Amino acid sequence: MALLSTNSITATNNSDTRIAGCLLIGIPGLEYLHIWLSIPFCAMYVAALVSNSILICVILSQPSLHEPMYIFLSMLASADVLLSTATMPKALVNFWLGSSHISFDGCLTQMFFIHFLFVADSAVLLAMAFDRYVAICSPLRYATILTSTVIGKITAATLTRSFIIMFPSIFLLKRLHYCRINIIAHTFCEHMGIARLSCSDISINVWYGLAAALLSTGLDIILIAVSYIRILRAVFQLPSQDARSKALSTCGSHVCVILLFYIPALFSVFAYRFGGRLIPSYVHILLANLYVVIPPMLNPIIYGVRTRPILEGAKQMFSNLVKGCN
């Protein structure tokens, strides 16, 4: 009888968490600043949406920009828009209205798309590094290597890899028994945040998360580093200073975007793993929220300022719009 009662309580707690959903409490310790924090976050989110949308429209509308480098850039902009949109609207509603509730399935869905888009972002940066490697190290073969078919295969591989890596996480979370409080101290759902709500053993989730990070982002970082080592070696073998400067300038924007993407992510990971007791939790969550809006906001600006064809394409697009209105 006692065993039956215990099982009934466990089943009730498990179903309550799944039915009642989760509560995203925002930034713990800074609840009184939620309204004020929403102002810069909203401004950065809107700027990211507008700037990336303009960048995508410029690339699509200008035939001169239908080259591999700019196609990959439009893919990066699309992933950035989706990543910030997967997180910011819910966070802003929480800040403004105090609406912290999200269904359990909704939380899993948000978690999947956040991690899926992060892995896809990393893969696109790797594709852009490969593009620069071919352009500098094998310029005569550039058009024959990076054909439209190859670009299509790279796009399909990016999406497929992201899906394969992240889809199992949904089942790893669904298999757990949830019998603790359903409060997540964050503004959005992420894998370990959901797993920690469980009273089951989450060792598999921990190791899976580590393996997924190493096999996606970790591997991408290594391959990007190898690409740029070979690029630098080829650049410094060029005979003239002008040729070296021109080759390096074509990589400058991409290097800035890479640093903007990986440095905050790596800092957040290492700070969470090794400085959890030294760094307040609200700092981790602030960094996580800034991470999903600052790179998407700055990437189009970096490429727009440093890449003349994009700047000229934007002028041409707006000029055509003005003429069309007249």
* Residue range 19-311, CATH number: 1.20.1070.10
For residue 165, give both structure tokens: 């890596």
**What is the DSSP secondary structure assignment for residue 215, as one 8-state letter?**
I
Determine what percent of the chain is predicted with pLDDT higher than 70: 90
pLDDT tens, residue by residue, 163-180: 999 999 999 999 888 876
In Å, what is the CA distance from 97 to each residue of 38, 156, 234?
A: 11, 39, 55
Share the mean pLDDT of the chain: 84
Q: What is the rounded (10 degree) CA torsion for 162, 168, 172, 174?
A: 100
pLDDT one-digit tens code per residue, 177-224: 887 678 888 889 988 888 888 888 888 988 998 888 888 888 999 999
- What DSSP element (H or E) covers 62? none
- Residue 9: its pLDDT value, please? 36
What are the extents of the domains in the chain? 19-311
For 6-63, write each residue's pLDDT tens digit. 343 333 344 455 666 788 888 888 888 899 999 999 999 999 999 999 999 999 988 8
- Write the single-letter amino acid at 247: A
- The pLDDT, as a whole number, for residue 219 is 93
Name the token pair of 210.
Answer: 């580590």
Nearest CA among 20, 80, 75, 15 for reference residue 44? 80
- Please say whether the beta carbons of 146 and 131 come within 8 A: yes
Write down the residue that tokens 């594709």 correspond to. Answer: 127
Q: Which two tokens stand for residue 225?
A: 């580093």
Instruction: Determine the Cα–Cα distance for residues 100 and 23; give it in Å rounded to an integer.
Output: 5
Check pLDDT > 70 for residue 274.
no
